[in-house]
Every structure is written in structure tokens, then in C-alpha cells.
Structure 1
């Protein structure tokens, strides 16, 4: 079922489930309800999610370059790839947004495919999490940027402040 085919019959139980418990792996919840990951995110209670247009792609990533080391995740049906490091500045060339620098995070992103950006703050595995998730037209996550945790597994407060400030800016 694509995001365009989501009906009230699907949306109501999904929204109710998320209102009762926003925890869980978003992609797994999407499979359970037969919807896209973005449809799950859109149905999170408003206190857990703010969505902005994909046109803000470079602005959002540009801000994150000042956060220090973040957790960069690509989640596909076959792998959850996690990379920790500072996000290098990027620039557009040859149809890609290119990120290169002195970091393990680097590569080429089809930024034009980004339709929506979600600022998600919700419980995950019983602990608060904060992430910025970039979604393509199919409603699947292109990649996610998470606020890191310290040695005690608590969110790094300076990054939470930057996350909140960026979310509020948009």
C-alpha cells in the first residue's frame, strides 16, 4: 500500500497505536500497517513530530554540520547502517548533494528526491530519542540523523538544544 492509498480504516488504528505508544521501529510499524514509513511518522502525535518540506534539505544539513559528531543511519530492508562522526559541509554538483571531509560520513545524496524532512522526538526502546529523518517520494527514509548519547546513554544536551532550535526555526 502506498502513502496515497492510505485510508481512514488504516490511519485511525495507526494513529491510535502511536498515541498509546510511540515507541518502536518505524519501518517495522509501517510493515505491520501496510503503509510507508513516512505515513507512520505523519501519524505520530504532534508533540513527537514536526514536518518541513524537502526544499529545506541543504539548510537543515548545513545546520547539522555545527553539531559535532552525530549518528548517521541508513535503514533499508536489508541493513541498518550506523556511522558516527561529524557531518562535513556539502555542496551541489552533477545532480547530487556531495558531502566530503575529515569524517567517516561522506558520499553523494540525490537531494532532489527529498520530499519531506521530519524532526522526530519520541521514545525508542524505552529511552527518549531525537532524529531528523529525510523522506523520498515513496515515503521511505533516505537517511536519518540522530542526536548522540553520552557514556551514560543519555542524550547529549547540547545537541538536543541544537535539534530543538533547528526544529523551531522551520
Structure 2
């Protein structure tokens, strides 16, 4: 008997709990959202994508974070603070005194995940924005100090924001 794909994903996650989630998605032929949905409840909280503006606004107050875009072709990482955004011309436009800027099609954001799990042996906390096809648009990670320790002030903000939405889920 063949196991359902979500059970196979859970087996993959149990075998390598701090591994790269995109590798699991690719090996199982599923979008990243399928993998995020198989994480244990303490590791992942899913909220509706239409909350992006209020979540984004909170993120603008965190200080220097790491923004990651992970595709099959590579991983792009950018450190900086999150600038405020405005709607215009069909995009959520972000500009400011930071290397992070651009134009996002946030109407395509179906879900937002608060992810708290180990990554290569260290705790990792991120807010991941997922599109209508179940792919991750981009991720915003809690920043790290030079010794690679998470910034405690940002962990507190992450945990408070996640708790705020946990109450409403």
C-alpha cells in the first residue's frame, strides 16, 4: 500500500527535522505549502494572506532582518529593515532607506506562515508569504547577531505576533 503524500512528507520531516523544506517539496513533487502544512502545529501557524498589510506593518518595526527568495535556481538573501509599503498601480510598493525594495503582487498572497523550527541545528524563525499556487513568494527571517544567535528582541516580536494570530485561528 502506498502512503499518501502528506504522510511521506511527515516521514521526510521526521528523518531530517532541520533540513531544507524546499528539498522535501521538490523530492515529493508538491508546492512548498504542502510541506509547510505538514509541519507540527508548534512549528507552523497559517493565517490568511489578506492580513499581509497589518503583518507587514509590524515587520517594519523589527529592525534588520533577512529577506530570502528561494527558487529552484538559487537562494537570494538580503539583510535590511523592512520599509513601509503602499498600494499603487496593482502592486504593494516598498521603498526606503534600506536595500529591500520593489513591487509585490500581494493580491496573490493566499497564506502567511509563522515558522519556528530548527535549521541545520539552530532555531530559525520566519514569516513566509505563500502565493495562490502554494509556492513561497518570499520569507522574512528573524535577524541574527554575528555569533549566529537569534536577535532576542526580534524573537520576542515574532512570538508576540504569532500569538496574536494564534488566538484568532
Q: TM-score range by the shorter chain?
A: over 0.9
Q: CA deviation at 1:12?
A: 1.1
Shift of 1:22: 2.5
Q: Which residues in structure 2 correspond to 1:10-49 (within 5 Å)?
A: 10-49=5-44
1:1-170 equivalence runs, <5 A: 9-170=4-165
Please list every run of at least 4 consecutive aligned residues from structure 1 whose deviation after the TM superposition is greater than 3 angstroms.
none
Q: C-alpha root-mean-square deviation of aligned residues, in Å?
A: 1.3
Measure, in 1, the Cα distance between the counterparts of 2:32 and 2:82.
24
| Counterparts of 2:15 and 2:70, CA distance in 1 | 25
Q: Normalising to structure 1: TM-score of the pair?
A: 0.92
Between the aligned partners of 1:124 and 1:72, the Cα distance in structure 2 is 16
**Cα deviations across residues 87-106 of structure 1 (Å, max 9, x unaligned)?**
01001101100000000000
Unaligned runs of 5+ in 2: none
CA contact (8 A) 2:142 2:155 kept: yes
Aligned to 1:3: none
Give 1:20 shift.
4.9
CA distance in 2, matches of 1:10, 1:89: 39
Q: Counterparts of 1:15 and 1:59 in 2: how far apart (Å)?
A: 31
TM-score (norm 2): 0.93
The CA distance in 1 between the partners of 2:160 and 2:23, in whole Å, is 29
- 1:9 offset after TM fit, Å? 1.3
Matched residues, number = 164
Q: Is the 8 A contact 1:22 1:44 kept in 2?
A: no
